[in-house]
Structure 1
Amino acid sequence: MTSGKALAADVAFVESALGQVLAGVRAGGSASHRSIADYLMRNPMRGTALKIEEMAEGCKVSTATISRFARDIGFASYGSMRSALAETMHTAMQPVEKLRNSITHRKGAVAPGDACLESARVNLAATRGALTQQELDAVARKITRARTVYVLGMGLSSTYAAMLAMHLQPFCQHVVVMAGAGGTGVAAGHLVHMGRGDVLVTFSFPRYAADVMRLAQFARNRGTGVVAITDTPSAPMAGMADHVLYASSAHMVLSSSGVAAVAVIEALVVSLMVSNKANLKKAAHLTEVISGYLVNGDG
């Protein structure tokens, strides 16, 4: 699964019964079991085709450890676990394949611009299927209660961070865009002020910036809550965050598409705005303040 349409299947796998078992092992199992669970969650489709020797090599463990892992999570053998993995992935991919086929069988050649817009539509559809209002509300509450909200993105993702910060400023006590003109050096300088009661919101999309993961881990070590906005459950930031909001980012030419990322930002901000009466009053007051500076801005 290499396209953005795979996001819905990835999320469906993570939320399946087997995915939940693997997530539990990855969170609290032994070191070797965590390694296997993490590998399977990052490569569920590949795992359906690997022999036990290949799986052991990929996880850097012995074949005996792989067999023991399969038994410990309720399967009679490695083969039984692999079959269950294949069945789970088949179920997860059915709606994805239906969408893929509907696009493939359309008549006539598609112009690049039309293909790009169609890709954006698919990314938005996949994102909507992976995003729940409950998760948006949980993140909105976390941001609202934070002493300071830090937002971090590198490269193209820095524009998403700036957009979120601009939207949050009227509703939060203190919002800090971590990566300014100085890049990682400036971002690292903010870490000394982080601690419990703060929230770090990270943006991480292909091509993933390693510095985002390093800075987020440092923030976690200081007790700061971490929210990740990223593209798939197998993305590097997904396993490091307290909350994850997924935005499908596949594109046929660019390294990633930002359409769904912007939509998730707007969905999060709107969820935060309507979460309490105080924020609604702030929004109304903001409109009054800025209306005089707008064209025909008589309120």
Structure 2
Amino acid sequence: MSIREQTLLGTTALTLADGRRGWATWLRLPPLTRHPGLLLAGLFVGLLVLAAIEPALLVRGDPLAANAREAFQAPSAAHWLGTDENGRDVLTRLVYGVRASLVMGLAATAIGLVAGIALGLLAGLGHRWIDSAIMRSVDVLLAFPDLLLALVIITFWGQGTLNAIIAVGIAGVPRYARMVRAQTRVVRGAAYVEAAITLGIARPLVILRHVLPNAIKPILILATIGIGGNIAAGASLSFLGFGAPPPAPEWGAMLSVGRNFLANAWWLVAAPGVAVTLTVVAITALGRALLRRSEGKNV
């Protein structure tokens, strides 16, 4: 092996090592004890995860069990967040609704990421006409707000939780595709990519080992922030009647029903409304902390 090839190989190896260390740096949060707001956000998200995995550890009772005699009871020691129009405990339904909201946020984000990364890579690495066709389509979709685009998709596919998840996920594809395409065009001209090609490494292997990891790192951080937005979008669809049907314990559906009794049972709207707000704020705060840290800024 010539000296030039040895140098190129060494450069590529150092780049790969830096890339591996980079993943750990990007995904590491700052010490939460120095940031009370982040600590509270982390604890709240941890509580949400626990509620999604095993809600029975936090509350007792059946979220669907109705008792007409206890309808519209105000918050008290017996029912911390009161009861709804059918006498069901609001706190129990709220806790059991965490799973549906988190699944909506995570699944929709995953759909948007996978499709967006595939289209972004294809546009960034493909021929000019492929890039142009994909980007023009993305521009058209970006002209619509995410929620409006999701509503259009649901109009064609029908209502239901699964369709709502797919619709919210597809609505996020254009945003991720454009970001991945921009990152790919930057990475493909980097020295370590050219060094790998010079050494005769197969193009698919170069894409998987060098282009893809470095192109999607910032996108993964931004996707963390997007989870909160997708949770809010899912709740909005359920509020409009396009998500989980009653009597499912889902935050958006609870808001939709509670608005009919706002005059005499304010807690039916306040409880799920505060839950959605706190969840979006907590996840967004953690995501922005990751983003600032990835950029080398003090959190």
Structure (1/2) with the larger strand percentage? 1
TM-score, L = length of structure 2 = 0.24
TM-score, L = length of structure 1 = 0.24
Of structures 1 and 2, the one scoring higher in RCO (CA 8 A, sep 6+) is 2
Bigger Rg, structure 1 or 2: 2
